[in-house]
């Protein structure tokens, strides 16, 4: 038996009674599915807590966000606060694309709950450039053309800032050790190392 579309394509008339019956059956099936969905209990999505208001100190400002306390900080930064410099790479604390400064130290944010950051001073790359002025480490990255795709760059700059805060005159080995946990898929490593070296030199002047 030819299908309705084959009949239509051939110019034959589609039986309107059969068409109407098929349509009624389809509408009834959809309505039944909707009724079933409405009477089923809500799905359980895991052991998350309910969202609540959480106060954070970010880039010197008090920010209040409504979030489940176990939400990773990175999600809150990017999705709730529009601070997108820190990047989502692996989500497993392996690539360090997501780092920010927490009380002056570099910390990953992709897998640590927002709750762990309450009462801490959080600084993102955006916070290092108030009023758009580049931080000296960021300026050194620009001068050395250290970014290729740029995905790892915010994390690398944060690492450079944290290093120069604790060590004003790092050796090459110390620079490499500080950057070691950071992955760069583009292979810009030498230019990144040169940028941190340049920032240290210029800071010492």
Q: Which residues bind to ligand FES, rule: CB under 6 A?
A: 88-91, 93-98, 108, 110, 147-153, 184-186, 188
A 10 A CB-CB count for 100 gives 28
In the complex, the smallest distance separating the C-beta of residue 98 from ligand FES, rounded to whole angstroms, is 3
Closer to ligand FES at the Cβ: 33 or 134?
134
Look at residue 63 and give its three-state secondary structure.
strand
Q: Give the ranges where the chain is alpha helix by DSSP (H).
A: 4-10, 16-39, 73-75, 136-143, 153-166, 172-179, 189-204
Closer to ligand FES at the Cβ: 88 or 113?
88
Q: Distances in Å between the alpha carbon of 43 and those of 30, 39, 51, 64, 66?
A: 21, 12, 17, 29, 22
In the complex, the smallest distance separating the C-beta of residue 109 from ligand FES, rounded to whole angstroms, is 7
Closer to ligand FES at the Cβ: 111 or 129?
111
In the complex, the smallest distance separating the C-beta of residue 182 from ligand FES, rounded to whole angstroms, is 8
Closer to ligand FES at the Cβ: 86 or 164?
86
In the complex, the smallest distance separating the C-beta of residue 151 from ligand FES, rounded to whole angstroms, is 4
Closer to ligand FES at the Cβ: 120 or 151?
151
In the complex, the smallest distance separating the C-beta of residue 93 from ligand FES, rounded to whole angstroms, is 5
Pick from 154, 23, 34: nearest CA to 101: 154
Question: What is the per-residue DSSP string for 69-101?
Answer: TTSBHHHIIIIIS---SS--S-SSSSS-TT-EE
């Amino acid at each position: 038996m030819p299908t309705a579309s084959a009949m239509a394509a051939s110019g034959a008339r589609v039986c309107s009674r059969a068409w109407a019956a098929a349509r009624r059956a389809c509408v009834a099936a959809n309505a039944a599915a909707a009724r079933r969905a409405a009477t089923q209990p809500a799905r359980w999505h895991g052991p998350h807590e309910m969202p609540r208001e959480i106060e954070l100190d970010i880039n010197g400002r008090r920010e209040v966000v409504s979030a489940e306390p176990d939400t990773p900080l990175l999600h809150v930064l990017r999705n709730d606060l529009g601070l997108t410099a820190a990047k989502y790479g692996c989500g497993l604390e392996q690539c360090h694309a997501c780092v920010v400064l927490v009380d002056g130290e570099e910390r990953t944010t992709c897998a640590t709950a927002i709750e762990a950051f309450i009462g801490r001073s959080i600084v993102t790359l955006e916070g290092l450039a108030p009023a758009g002025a580049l931080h000296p480490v960021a300026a050194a990255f620009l001068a050395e053309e250290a970014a290729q795709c740029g995905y790892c760059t915010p994390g690398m700059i944060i690492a450079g800032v944290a290093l120069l805060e604790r060590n004003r005159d790092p050796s090459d080995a110390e620079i490499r050790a500080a950057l070691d946990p950071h992955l760069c898929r583009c292979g810009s490593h030498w230019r990144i190392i040169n940028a941190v070296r340049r920032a240290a030199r210029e800071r010492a002047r």
